[in-house]
Chains A and B, each alone.
Chain A
Amino acid sequence: MTEADWPLFEVFIRSRSGLEHKHVGSLHAADARMAIEHARDVYTRRQEGVSMWVVRSADIIASDPEEADSLFEPARDKVYRHPTFYAIPDEVKNL
Chain B
Amino acid sequence: MILAATPAGADGQLQQAHSQYVLRLADTSLVLGQRLAEWIGHAPALEEDLALANVSLDLIGQARLLLTYAGELEGQGRDEDALAFLRDAPEFRNLALAEQPNGDFAHTIVRHWLIDAWQLEIYAGLERGVDTRLAAIAAKAIRETRYHYRFSSGWLVRLGDGTEESHERMQRALADLWRFTPELFTPDELDERMSAAGIAPSLAELAPRWSARVTEDVRLATLALPAAQPYPWHGKRGVHTEHLGYLLAEMQHLQRTYPGAHW
**Chain A residues close to B by CB (< 8 Å):** 6, 27-31, 33-34, 37-38, 40-42, 45
The residues of B that contact A40 with a CB separation of less than 8 Å are: 147
**Contact call A41/B45, Cβ cutoff below 8 A:** no
- A38 touching B154 in the complex, CB below 8 Å, given contacts A6-B45, A28-B45: no
A-B pairs with beta carbons under 8 Å apart, 22 shown: A6-B45, A27-B47, A28-B45, A28-B46, A28-B47, A29-B47, A30-B158, A31-B158, A34-B47, A34-B154, A34-B158, A37-B51, A37-B151, A37-B154, A38-B50, A38-B51, A41-B47, A41-B51, A42-B47, A42-B50, A45-B50, A45-B54
- A43 nearest in chain B by CB position: B50
Query: A41–B147 Cα gap in the complex (Å)?
Result: 11
B36, chain A: closest CB distance, angstroms: 13
The residues of A that contact B219 with a CB separation of less than 8 Å are: none
**Chain B residues close to A by CB (< 8 Å):** 45-47, 50-51, 54, 147, 150-151, 154, 158
Which of B46, B50, B54, B154 makes the CB contact (< 8 A) with A33? B154
Query: A28–B43 Cα gap in the complex (Å)?
Result: 14
- Looking at A27, A31, A33, A34, the one whose CB has the most chain B CB atoms below 10 A away is A34
Q: Which 8 A-B pairs have the closest CB atoms?
A: A38-B47, A41-B51, A41-B50, A41-B54, A42-B50, A33-B154, A27-B47, A37-B151
Given contacts A38-B47, A38-B50, A41-B54, 10 further A-B contacts (CB under 8 A): A6-B45, A28-B47, A29-B47, A30-B158, A34-B158, A37-B51, A40-B147, A41-B47, A42-B50, A45-B50
The residues of A that contact B51 with a CB separation of less than 8 Å are: 37-38, 41
Number of A-B contacts (CB under 8 A): 28
Query: A38–B43 Cα gap in the complex (Å)?
Result: 14
The residues of A that contact B46 with a CB separation of less than 8 Å are: 28
B259, chain A: closest CB distance, angstroms: 35
The residues of B that contact A6 with a CB separation of less than 8 Å are: 45
The residues of B that contact A38 with a CB separation of less than 8 Å are: 47, 50-51
Query: A31–B157 Cα gap in the complex (Å)?
Result: 12
Query: A34–B47 Cα gap in the complex (Å)?
Result: 10
- B162 nearest in chain A by CB position: A30
- A37 touching B150 in the complex, CB below 8 Å, given contacts A30-B158, A42-B50: yes
Query: A6–B47 Cα gap in the complex (Å)?
Result: 11
- A44 nearest in chain B by CB position: B54
A24, chain B: closest CB distance, angstroms: 14
Query: A42–B151 Cα gap in the complex (Å)?
Result: 14
Query: A48–B95 Cα gap in the complex (Å)?
Result: 35
B163, chain A: closest CB distance, angstroms: 12
- A30 nearest in chain B by CB position: B158
The residues of B that contact A34 with a CB separation of less than 8 Å are: 47, 154, 158
B59, chain A: closest CB distance, angstroms: 15
Query: A36–B158 Cα gap in the complex (Å)?
Result: 15
Query: A34–B153 Cα gap in the complex (Å)?
Result: 11
A84, chain B: closest CB distance, angstroms: 48
